[in-house]
Amino acid sequence: QLAEYDFIIVGGGAAGTLLASRLSEVSKWSVLLIEAGGEESVLEDIPLFAALAQLTPINWGYKTEPSSTACLGLVGGQCNWPRGKVLGGSSVLNYMVNTRGNRKDYDGWAEGGAEGWGYDDVLPYFLQFEDMLIPRLAADTVYHSTSGELAISYPPYRTQSARSFNEAAQEIGFDRTDYNAENQIGYSFLQTTTKDGLRFSGNRAFLEPTRKRKNLHVLTHSLVTKILIDSKSRTAYGVQYKLLNLLTLKVRARKEVILSAGALNSPQLLMLSGIGPREELESLGIKVLQDSKVGFNLQDHISLGNLYFTANSSIGIRFDDILGDLFDVAEYLVSRTGPLAIPGGVEALVFQELNTSSSDSTAGVPDIEILFASSTLPSLKPVWDAWGGNSEIYAAYEPLANKDSFMIFPMIMHPRSRGRVTLRSSDPTDAPVLYHNYLTDPYDADIIISGIHTSLQLINTSAFQRYAAELYPVPLPPCEGYEFASDEYWNCSIRYTTFTFYHQCGTCKMGNDSDQDAVVDVNLKVRGIKNLRVVDASIIPLIPSDKFCDNLTNERLNVFHRISYIYVIIVTLVYIIFRQSTDILRRADYTWLHVCASIDGSTDHGFSSSGGCAGQLAEYDFIIVGGGAAGSLLASRLSEVSEWSVLLIEAGGEESVLEDIPLFAAHAQLTPINWGYKTEPSSTACLGLVGGQCNWPRGKVLGGSSVLNYMVYTRGNRKDYDDWAEEGSEGWGYDDVLPYFLRSEDMLIPRLAADKRYHSTKGELPITHPPYHTQAASDFIEAGVETGYNEVDYNAASQIGYSFHQCTMKDGMRVSANRAFLEPARTRRNLYVLKNSLVTKILVHPENQTAYGVEYELWSVLPRRARARKEVIISAGAINSPQLLMLSGIGPKDDLEKLGISVMQDSKVGFNLQDHISLGNLYFTANSTIGIPPDYNPNDVSNVIKYLQDREGPLSIPAGTEAFGFEDIDDNDGFPEIEIIFSTSTTSSLNEVGDAWGVSPDIYENYESLADENSFMMLPVLMHPKSRGRLTLRSRNPMDKPLLYHNYLTEPEDVNVLIKGIRRAIRLTDTAAFQRHGVQLLKVPLPPCEVHEFGSDEYWECSIRYMTFTFYHQCGTCKMGPDSDEDAVVDPQLRVRGIKNLRVVDSSIIPVIISGHLVAPTYMIAEKASDMIKNHWNATSLS
């Protein structure tokens, strides 16, 4: 619990990530970086979305106290102060602008007593991390470098309005400048921390390249609550932190604790630890260790947020036009250019010196930065919300959303006003009290008004007048009492629409020994406390408030953008530490400790004895491999026994909200959470798919394929399970398994829930009808009834008939296994979940054939082991479970020996592969809109937002599938041969379905016109295929995907039954239910099958073989069976034959595929297995 490191860095923002990278360059130093947040996502990497990230949980969400001087027009009279709660910190939220500031800033610091911080001292450190990607600027090697990690570039796209801004600046006398070189005054496009059109955060630049360093640990989702300081020696020796805000832990530092938590959190943490103003700390009952001016000297850059202009043509950007289609985002991710590459819409700037007659000591130092944005705040409501403007002011400017408009921010560089940070309480989870004190000195408003005048001068140039640009003439409602555009009006506007650039700094001021306000010295050491430093923007000493500043020998300082402050400070600190320390210290294992976190936030009781994390030869009672449908449920059930420790290992990470939207189900198959398996080419099926290969999506994510599937919940037929039992799988008959279906079920359909024999409302897994049905789906069920079938509850006494889907959904959204079973278990301290970790081998003692643990790779680079006291349970699915068994020496002897794998058990692993298939091009058209309207765009942001508000509408339909009928077409024994699935969309009208399926482009083009028609499709599914496939190892490398042989349609009977199903589906459209809408079969022949008469058996057989559609119901590859079954891999207790303490619990054990979709029986298998395991190990107590 009190694990030791050489250095502990608190805060994984811009400063902390760079510092962690630099210190861990010394291989003998162990470094722990602790971050309160988690990982950034791809959404934050899109520059135009900069403001949207501020509306997510990665923002601390700070608000200032209400004030009478500024932010009066913001909600509650409070300014929003976004700060990054994420690896990368505010470099993940900011607008990516990279400006160093002015030479005289740093020279002023040095002359004021901060020795070693002059411009010539710090310039090498700017160059050390810079990778200048702008060739013209990179040629100036005095001021730029190309050898660092942090990419600096111009965004790859510019609007005409930004070009006009620069042209206008030139017209009124400014020169083009490289503001990060010799002369800062002038105009320029923005130099930004972007690369290839994407944000380049501190995490991306400095932390990600260090992933292979074993001496660097990164602990996420952990809030440091106190610096541990020995009160006698006044020496910092570690920190106390809370993991996932639940578990309180401590960790020691041998050399130093370094605060890099930013200008708000660093002073807060110092004060919580007893370092700060004595009287304030004592009033909160905090023991004072050092009386210090912590939290004073708060400075920031501000402007006004309503300097809007309009034009008579589209020279800027409109957010609605850009974001109107989610596929514009996908296109951007491919090309990395276009408007989405503009950081928050900000494109260019001018640095202006207002008094050009200044003395030499202040000449060339700007008073104002005029920032140009090619859109306006009201043009996208979320951007307005991130700022915090109130509804009254938004209503005044809302019409700008439909106009060609842009805005300018005149930003004061040297405010005289100073704010403060204080503690709200002694509780570290309480946000600090923030007093901005903006505009308390009238000088600040006067300077901003001067910048407004310059902005208006820019608009009056020919560069803008050719587009009839003008100031938007709508007055700000609270300021209507002043003449519009007068200085009095602007003074009022600044105070109501105060816009901060979130450049808070100065709250742990750096200074020399004579400076009584200084919190840290020039080496950034905290005064009065040994082995404690502050390294972030809080140490910045001064943004001068006047033309001359006495204590800096009349030098005038300019504040520069905070991110560059941070980088120069930390690189300087690294130099100091390197110079001062020569100790030889142990190496620590590199881990990203957040992936070791248990569901409740613990990490194997803090740290394992080896200095790694949970899994470094740690022991658990049970290790479950695979966090899919079976693994998630099983982990939940086994961890009910409080004496048992359970480790769940998953190769993927967390699911996102996008996967929860039912209509986007197929889209998830196009993302990294899909393993992306493809079958080997075959002459019997999938001939019309790309490469002649079927796509077999499988979930690489917590929740597994329950995050990718179409959410259909079908148990199958009574005869399925009774046949299993009759073939020797004792205890698996229908009456045996029905209680296990009921245990997890929460039936939300009242009519069905009333049937207590077949349904339950007490489980965790909600089952319901989607909240929206099309007319076409209702007609489909009516057509089934017309042809002689009943509308049934197919999960009850009789399966034969028609019905809307019962789905694993709630409130119109997917409920995966992760959501249903793992999330409710977060408070269990005996359940550990290890993500992003691929199990590569089951550890089996060769002498006694007993499984005792697993080998796995963390992030595919770090080999680890974990031990199991009782059992290893494989729940990796019908592809990965047999692959892992074979890699571990359990499988066909001849195949394994050819690959040089030592054989532990000769077994028929990988055989008996079964799946459900259909025909994918049985399309129909109608003469009216009875399905999803052709012009409905599911990717339109407005449709998505409406769905998220209402949780209904077309987006709540699982990938467009709505209903089905189970038909017994041969012997009327109640056992269906065919399932006819109805989809209100076709593989052409919903592009993602076609892409996920993998249809070749030439065939897709044949049906592309359906996207503009009223159309739907039916999929006749073969319930009981005779054909059997197989999977084998490609190599002994666990990273190589297995060889998948589907063997579809190798048995002629499968083709014959499918053709019968096609004809039954077509017959449905002859009913009155469909004919009133003029429904007819689309008689566009499939090109490869044109040699056959359309609609003949030969044509349909050809179509089936080309347009083979699989429902990804692979199963049977670790077959369950009795001792007499030589093909069985596991016994009816799911124990692997010939190996002790090893089970398989997933769909791979299914001996014969059931009459339905597989997620329901997979949950049932896990439920039944949990009882078997509990009974075997005599579990007596439950949590």
Q: How confident is the model over 809-816, as a mean pLDDT?
A: 94
Confidence of residue 607 (pLDDT cuts 50, 70, 90): very low
User: Does 810 have pLDDT greater than 80?
Assistant: yes
What pLDDT does residue 583 have?
26
Q: How confident is the model over 681-710, as a mean pLDDT?
A: 93
Rounded to 5°, angle at Cα 250 from 246 and 253: 145
User: Does 522 have pLDDT greater than 90?
Assistant: yes
Phi then psi for residue 303, to 5 deg, are: -150, -160
Q: How confident is the model over 723-742, as a mean pLDDT?
A: 97
Confidence of residue 617 (pLDDT cuts 50, 70, 90): very low
Let me know: does 367 contact 354? Beta carbons within 8 Å: yes
Query: Is 626 domain-assigned?
Result: no
User: Does 1181 have pLDDT greater than 80?
Assistant: no
What pLDDT does residue 585 have?
23
What pLDDT does residue 939 have?
65
How far apart are the two ends of the chain, measured CA to CA in Å? 25
User: Does 252 have pLDDT greater than 60?
Assistant: yes
What pLDDT does residue 860 have?
63
What pLDDT does residue 402 have?
86
Q: Average per-residue pLDDT in the chain?
A: 87
173 vs 166: CA distance, rounded Å: 11
Q: Running DSSP on this structure, what letter comes out for residue 914?
A: B
What pLDDT does residue 505 have?
93
Let me know: does 500 contact 301? Beta carbons within 8 Å: yes
What pLDDT does residue 672 have?
84
Query: Is 1073 domain-assigned?
Result: yes
Residue 1085 sits in a domain of what CATH number? Answer: 3.30.560.10
164 vs 137: CA distance, rounded Å: 22
Q: What is the pLDDT of residues 646-682, one digit of tens each?
A: 999 999 988 877 788 888 888 778 778 899 999 999 9
What pLDDT does residue 360 have?
54
Q: What is the pLDDT of residues 293-340, one digit of tens each?
A: 999 999 999 999 999 999 998 888 876 655 554 555 656 766 788 888
Q: How confident is the model over 40-60, as a mean pLDDT?
A: 84
Let me know: does 534 contact 508? Beta carbons within 8 Å: yes
502 vs 62: CA distance, rounded Å: 11
Query: Is 381 domain-assigned?
Result: no
Helix (H) or strand (E) holding 166: helix 160-171
Domain of residue 930: give its range: 658-700+771-804+917-1110
Confidence of residue 604 (pLDDT cuts 50, 70, 90): very low
351-355, 729-733, 804-808, 1136-1140, range with the lowest pLDDT: 351-355
User: Does 575 have pLDDT greater than 70?
Assistant: no
Q: State whether the Cα torsion 292-293-295-298 is positive or negative.
A: negative
Counting residues of the chain whose pLDDT is more than 70, the rounded percentage is: 90
1113 is catalytic: yes
Q: What is the pLDDT of residues 878-927, one digit of tens each?
A: 999 999 999 999 999 999 999 999 999 999 999 999 999 999 999 999 99
User: Does 611 have pLDDT greater than 90?
Assistant: no
C-beta pairs of 515-524 under 8 Å, 24+ apart in sequence: 515/113, 515/541, 516/293, 517/293, 517/296, 517/297, 518/293, 519/267, 519/270, 519/275, 519/292, 519/293, 519/294, 522/113, 522/114, 522/115, 522/116, 522/117, 523/573, 523/576, 524/569, 524/573, 524/576
Higher pLDDT, 434 or 997: 434
Rg (CA), the chain: 33
What pLDDT does residue 330 have?
58
Confidence of residue 613 (pLDDT cuts 50, 70, 90): very low
Helix (H, G, I), strand (E, B) or coil at 448: helix
Q: What is the pLDDT of residues 93-106, one digit of tens each?
A: 899 999 998 888 88
1120 vs 30: CA distance, rounded Å: 49
Tell me which of 1077, 1113, 1157, 1176 is the catalytic residue: 1113
Confidence of residue 994 (pLDDT cuts 50, 70, 90): low
User: Does 571 have pLDDT greater than 80?
Assistant: no
Q: Tell me which range, 350-364, 549-563, 962-976, 1069-1083, is most confidently predicted by mean pLDDT.
A: 1069-1083
Helix (H) or strand (E) holding 433: strand 433-435
Q: How confident is the model over 494-514, as a mean pLDDT?
A: 92
Counting residues of the chain whose pLDDT is more than 90, the rounded percentage is: 71
- What is the number of domains present in the chain? 1
Query: Is 940 domain-assigned?
Result: yes
Let me know: does 743 contact 759? Beta carbons within 8 Å: no
Query: Is 33 domain-assigned?
Result: no
Q: How confident is the model over 714-743, as a mean pLDDT?
A: 97
User: Does 14 have pLDDT greater than 50?
Assistant: yes
Query: Is 348 domain-assigned?
Result: no
44-58, 137-151, 408-422, 626-640, range with the lowest pLDDT: 44-58
Task: Tell me the residue type at 358.
Answer: S
Higher pLDDT, 962 or 942: 962
Q: How confident is the model over 966-983, as a mean pLDDT?
A: 92
What pLDDT does residue 358 have?
46
What pLDDT does residue 941 have?
60
Query: Is 52 domain-assigned?
Result: no
Query: Is 711 domain-assigned?
Result: no
Rounded to 5°, angle at Cα 820 from 591 and 941: 85
Q: How confident is the model over 571-598, as a mean pLDDT?
A: 31
pTM: 0.58
Return the number of other C-beta atoms located less than 10 Å from residue 710's C-beta.
23
User: Does 388 have pLDDT greater than 80?
Assistant: yes
What pLDDT does residue 1012 have?
73
Would you tell me the crossing angle of helices 442-459 and 160-171 to the nearest 10 degrees?
Answer: 100
